[in-house]
A and B are shown apart, each in its own frame.
Chain A
Amino acid sequence: MRSIKLRKSLPVHTLLVLVGIAFLAPFAWMLLTSLKSLEEISTFPLTIWPEVFHWSNYKDVFDIIPFARYFLNTLLVTLASVVGQLFAAPLVAYSITKIEWSGRKWIFPIVIATMLLPFQVTMIPIYMIFKDMGLTGSYWPLIIPTFTGAPLYIFLLRQFFMSIPDAIIQAARIDGASESRIYVTMILPLCRPALAAVAIFTFLYTWSDFMGPLLYLNKADMYTLTLGLQAFLAEHYTEWGLLMAASALFTLPLIIMFFFAQKQFIEGITLTGIKG
């Protein structure tokens, strides 16, 4: 029985492994290039494995771009955004799923509609708002909007809240608990997995966001990693080896996070796609 099953699944495995190699190869190439010397990168024909491991590329990245500074800047914006979304998105989702009020019917369709709205439409006026408030050039324009809840996360949490039976909330209400109490002590702990997904998504999105920092940050010492990477790229005399080392360093925190939070991750993505 077993061998039949294996024989049957062998072609599928072969295919999956081949695709897997194709998916991992670019990664490997990034790491290998990041360890090659200036000369080796431009030799022809190409070498796959570095002749000598040039760890100095990584050191040079730290020397040339203030990596630690950009890292902290990015972390700051990212964590603040995570806090923002965790604060706002579940509140709104709770309001439209578990509180019976007349506005709830209106909000959800609007949330969905704003998901379809290209951000370019609102980009310039939002920019002008922050400019008039004198906040361009600071991190505020990147952070403030997150405290209003992104449509995608409201949507995701709504999906999750729908699965929480109304009965337990009703029971608590009958016991005389206030809505805020129910929300804080009952609902939030219950939807921890969904909140984790929101946190992870926000982290990922903000960590790699390019447009926001591009619009709002001016000064080199306030740059986030994406902007730093772009500035590094646009400068003269930056070799491919260094660029690959910088990219690898930029990606590393996300990969680490992914391995720690894989489960929530997959669940979260699944939640956004299902029962649409």
Chain B
Amino acid sequence: MLNNLKNHKKHIFVAFSFVLAFTLLIAACAPGGGDGGGAGGEQKIRVNINTEPFSLNPGLANDTTSGGVLLQTFEGLTRIGKDGEPENAMAEEIEKSEDLKKYTFTIRDATWSNGDKVTAQDFEYAWKWALDPKNEAQYAYQLYYLKNGESANMGKASVDEVGVKAVDEKTLEVTLENPTPYFLELTAFYTYFPVNSKIAKENPNWYTDAGDNYTSNGPFVMTTWEHNDKIILEKNADYWDNETVNLNQIEMIMVNDPNTELSMFDNGELDWAGSPMGTLPTEAIPSLKKEDRLNIEPIAGTYWYKFNTEKKPFNNVNIRKAFAYSINRDAIVNNITKGGEIPGMAAVPPTMIKENEKGYFEDNNVDEAKKLLEKGLKEEGYGSVTDLPPITLSYNTSESHAKIAQAIQDMWKKNLGVDVKLSNAEWKVYIDKLHNGNYQIGRMGWLGDYNDPVNFLELYKEKGGNNDTRWHNEEFASLLEQSATETDEKARMKLLKQAEEILMDDMPIAPIYFYTNTWVQNENLQDVVLSGLGDAQFKWASLK
């Protein structure tokens, strides 16, 4: 017994020291103490960017998170200014040829954050690098406007044949495939940003971390990048226009939960919560609105339902229209989404075409919808609504999509007497389903890449690609073709509007609403510039 007890004590001792060692181990890998938050007077702000950016190499970036960082740290030939129009940035002077196919940019005296000069070669290098098929640039197609851009990327032409050439250090000559009236908007986009070619040539992995190799030419430089945790940007003393820049530091944290984001904002740990960098919880929007804290700004984006025009009964235009007309968009926007969205009765958002606020048809036009449905049923030989094949509305899993789908399901039942089933799926499964034409009605949205209606219309030009509706209309396609070579801005707009009218008349898609950005912000923070495409620039921002 005694022996046993002793033994037992030994056991306890061993267990105890184990626990002790454990505690020490834990203490050893405890997270390091962070510094407290900066006060308002220091011109430091904190924002949430939700997730780790895909890549901070402008040539590789293909997502809004990366874009949101790059827009602060880099600068292209142009920059979208406070008024939403492109203004000269790295380019000091821009000359266009008569046929709008040739641009000559003169690069201003500017340096990279390590003191290297920004040269025309840096642009040429960056663009050709992105187009080179052996570099895995997903957004290379943003550069297809350049002459031979597409064929070089497909490996059909050499990269040397691409229409970009550094004549000397200061002069960049760009040749385009087609006259592209919005080309100077494109040069403000991150795929068109320059890259410090000296460093990039020596060190192909220059972009994976902050440090000496990561140089940039924009208003801010990245000084810290803790992966999946935070990024710290500091004012770039070498920036050519650094007198305009007021903020000393931007801390970008990565918290991917809307409720936490808002809580941190309410707790004074963030200066901005919500779009475009983060997300507001949808449930909070009504109360934020009531408290008069919510900011709303329309952006270039459309939320729409696609009809599969090869699947019954949506091969019939009148049935498609009946479904589209009988949606009460006003009720959805005012009672469900509540973020100031604009009911959508057109494909192109009103930030690009002002008149589209009214749209091409009447919202919630139940009488007309019933008539159209009757007509459609007759044309297809259905006796009544009950003879329709079973109809399923698909959406990708998300609370807000589910809400809208359930509301529309209810509207179709009440207004048309049609029973529609709902089916949701995980994002990639869903995309796959849509791209393979394995659906009847599917939810989708489009956010503009650049500020021009053609970005929304060309989606439906050809079957395949992004056109899951499998709809094709010769006249529509030829109007778009014509617009591509039209150099007169007004005439071009007219062609695009005609095309949109055809689209809305044939209704392969039923637009629901136009997106908005919603956010709350520190009241002392001013002059953050949001573009119509929904991105934010901090170049001019300051804390009062």
Task: Indicate whether A and B interact.
Answer: no
Binding site for B on A (CB under 8 A): none
Binding site for A on B (CB under 8 A): none
